[in-house]
Structure 1
């Protein structure tokens, strides 16, 4: 059976130690409306609504994120605390906004581009984002890819020689046990045409204690390996998270940053500047700033594209180019990501705009 490891050293513990560790961890990760009420993250008046939300969407707030929440409506609390508005559905929302299901040739595989594919070995996360575009599927009790389905998924990858990059996502691949992760990496490493492996994860910041030598040993591969770190606010970078990132980078794994533009979380020039600077200062290259995918019940996080373009434009010249991500929309229906700008050149008029907003002749360029 597939394994999820709740501790890097779980295989070496006595049963009593394992039970004690699991009990302690259960206390640290808030999962139920009762947990949220007891911790002060919701009021008793909100309990009934949050209970209804929790019956549909999973909740998990690990201790490292709980410690960062100063108020339920602050940039950390908004990302992880269930809210009654999640039950309000808009006509333009979709349970599968980027067509994961429609573009899945076999369980665990999503193919949206010619040269790469997603492999989803599980749908478990260290925390559950209230804006997640896979929120209909992720949760602590489901989504593990069984041995037969994993064999089928890896066989599909092996049979398609045009696939050069495999992106491990989910869920969060770093929630797998090191043994299971090592098996997957070894089998990907044995596919000749797979030259690049990318892992998408929140674990280094949301569950930094998992970044152990055993876990990193499991990632050993001859292929080019990249880690895409999901972070939406500068306060997510804690001392423990910084230590986890240093450990990863010392293994020679380059780290990219990806974020979602979210109302109330990072929808200001200052918040984005702080976030991108925090990444670069930790050797994390801001890669993508995502326009929100319109999953059910996420309207409260929506920032219009024109506002997003203006926010990104406001940072040009204020932050180093190393801190400049590509602002993208994952086109609904599974048509892939498209850059949203902002734009600086008008070829028809032959003019170009500098970072301060001044217009100049493009010349012979």
Structure 2
């Protein structure tokens, strides 16, 4: 029998005597997380590398809910659930391009905890706590650190910034994980945001339904429903994470009228194959979750061994596009270092362009010339103050020059005497 097919009876269960009422209580789950080598050795046959990492004092925080721990294969060191939450000593190895703040979020933070990178939307970090901690965490510089917690005063400063910044129409709550907050604090934050007229939608990113489906209560769903339009992106990386408990939690959210999306991270040795990604996206849409983003793993400290080539992500999208439903195909993105934001990357379907003709290929390799209209008249352009390439297309600029371009290309003119 392969190592990944351990009979359920052979898997140790230190919680076999816990009453169902306690097991189903999300507060109990948080209060009984596993976070030490001794805790994990009750459940898992740890490898020497895992033991070495767990014994390190300087490691990124370890906390695993009992629910999620029960999904771990106790004997297979390559179990995709296990690899996401149990550290390896290779986390401490530096790699080329490694950064602490891989997305330069701190440089785009006008007030503590709020990141304003894009013109009309902001990222609002509301907590540094998670139900469990992913080993590839983009914000490991702050997440899980009790010294980095956000006070109510700091959250109010973020809200005040939003009140006086009318160009912001979209707010994304993240952290840490916002669903680790109490219902009362969530009600306060969402209520404050809903009082700001120019904020059109509020979104939330969360992995709590995966780590802690017990958190998705009827009261929470009613709370979120009161603040529509509200969108929620869950973070699911592998089909093994989609258990009956997670499906039930997702159904509660969807039944509350909350549009659900999924943001996955491409992880070496975990989900970096077309077959696993196909299984994942099919399970997602069966649960009324739209695959939204597939992220290239960031250049964050501790995540070097999770990173794949960008070409692997393009290969996966090539194998999904046309081979399955369009709404089951996520956008593969690279979140650029230096705060460059998300850039979609994928297969190239435009092979050539000429006068009123574009040559395209489909997923099967069929190549077709598409005739464009010769009498099309563009509508009058309304100045938008666009930046970047869009500004060039709108005629609002003629050239984009990198910083220092003029000085680098300056050639002083010297007259002959």
Q: Greater shift after overlay, 314-323 or 267-276? A: 314-323
Q: Which residue of structure 1 lines up, in the alignment, with residue 291 of structure 2?
A: 286
Q: Which residue of structure 1 lines up, in the alignment, with residue 172 of structure 2?
A: 167
SS in 1 for 2:71: coil
Instruction: Flag the structure with larger Rg.
Output: 2
Preserved contact between residue 205 and residue 233 of structure 2 (Cα < 8 Å): yes
Q: Which residue of structure 2 lines up, in the alignment, with residue 33 of structure 1?
A: 37
Do the aligned partners of residues 59 and 260 (structure 1) sit closer, same or farther apart at CA in structure 2, a change above 3 Å counting? same
Shift of 1:88: 0.3
Preserved contact between residue 74 and residue 264 of structure 1 (Cα < 8 Å): no
Preserved contact between residue 33 and residue 51 of structure 1 (Cα < 8 Å): yes
- Work out whether 1:243 is the aligned partner of 2:243: no
SS in 2 for 1:48: helix
Q: Which residue of structure 1 lines up, in the alignment, with residue 194 of structure 2?
A: 189
Matches within 5 A, 1:112-151: 112-139=117-144, 141-151=146-156
Looking at structure 1, the residues matched to 32 and 77 of structure 2 have their Cα atoms a distance apart, in angstroms, of 17
Note the alpha carbon deviations across 1:286-321, whole angstroms, 9 max, x for none.
000111111012111111111210121012222111
Note the alpha carbon deviations across 1:46-89, whole angstroms, 9 max, x for none.
4233221x533011222232222222321111111111010001
SS in 1 for 2:155: helix
Q: Which residue of structure 2 lines up, in the alignment, with residue 207 of structure 1?
A: 212
Looking at structure 1, the residues matched to 228 and 31 of structure 2 have their Cα atoms a distance apart, in angstroms, of 39
Q: Greater shift after overlay, 72-81 or 43-52? A: 43-52
Shift of 1:346: 2.1
- Work out whether 1:69 is the aligned partner of 2:77: no
- Work out whether 1:110 is the aligned partner of 2:115: yes
Q: Which residue of structure 1 lines up, in the alignment, with residue 366 of structure 2?
A: 358
Shift of 1:44: 5.6
Shift of 1:323: 0.3
Preserved contact between residue 37 and residue 43 of structure 1 (Cα < 8 Å): no
**Higher relative contact order (CA closer than 8 Å, sequence separation 6+):** 1
Q: Which residue of structure 2 lines up, in the alignment, with residue 325 of structure 1?
A: 330
Looking at structure 2, the residues matched to 23 and 175 of structure 1 have their Cα atoms a distance apart, in angstroms, of 10
Mark the runs of 5 or more structure 2 residues left unpaired by the alignment: 1-20, 374-417
SS in 2 for 1:200: strand
Looking at structure 1, the residues matched to 110 and 293 of structure 2 have their Cα atoms a distance apart, in angstroms, of 26
SS in 1 for 2:191: helix
Looking at structure 1, the residues matched to 227 and 40 of structure 2 have their Cα atoms a distance apart, in angstroms, of 44
Preserved contact between residue 331 and residue 337 of structure 1 (Cα < 8 Å): yes
Preserved contact between residue 95 and residue 295 of structure 1 (Cα < 8 Å): yes
- Work out whether 1:60 is the aligned partner of 2:63: yes
Q: Which residue of structure 2 lines up, in the alignment, with residue 298 of structure 1?
A: 303
Q: Which residue of structure 1 lines up, in the alignment, with residue 395 of structure 2?
A: none
- Work out whether 1:256 is the aligned partner of 2:261: yes
Looking at structure 1, the residues matched to 49 and 125 of structure 2 have their Cα atoms a distance apart, in angstroms, of 38
Preserved contact between residue 29 and residue 67 of structure 2 (Cα < 8 Å): no
Looking at structure 2, the residues matched to 327 and 335 of structure 1 have their Cα atoms a distance apart, in angstroms, of 16
SS in 2 for 1:258: strand
SS in 1 for 2:345: strand
Do the aligned partners of residues 174 and 82 (structure 1) sit closer, same or farther apart at CA in structure 2, a change above 3 Å counting? same
RMSD: 2.1
Do the aligned partners of residues 66 and 116 (structure 1) sit closer, same or farther apart at CA in structure 2, a change above 3 Å counting? same
Looking at structure 2, the residues matched to 121 and 105 of structure 1 have their Cα atoms a distance apart, in angstroms, of 15
Q: Which residue of structure 1 lines up, in the alignment, with residue 224 of structure 2?
A: 219
- Work out whether 1:85 is the aligned partner of 2:85: no
Looking at structure 2, the residues matched to 165 and 229 of structure 1 have their Cα atoms a distance apart, in angstroms, of 18
- Work out whether 1:233 is the aligned partner of 2:238: yes
Q: Which residue of structure 1 lines up, in the alignment, with residue 51 of structure 2?
A: 47
Preserved contact between residue 186 and residue 221 of structure 1 (Cα < 8 Å): no
Looking at structure 2, the residues matched to 316 and 64 of structure 1 have their Cα atoms a distance apart, in angstroms, of 34
Shift of 1:91: 2.9
Looking at structure 2, the residues matched to 55 and 26 of structure 1 have their Cα atoms a distance apart, in angstroms, of 22
SS in 1 for 2:249: helix
How many residue pairs get matched? 346
Looking at structure 2, the residues matched to 320 and 278 of structure 1 have their Cα atoms a distance apart, in angstroms, of 12
Q: Which residue of structure 2 lines up, in the alignment, with residue 339 of structure 1?
A: 344
Q: Greater shift after overlay, 328-337 or 25-34? A: 25-34
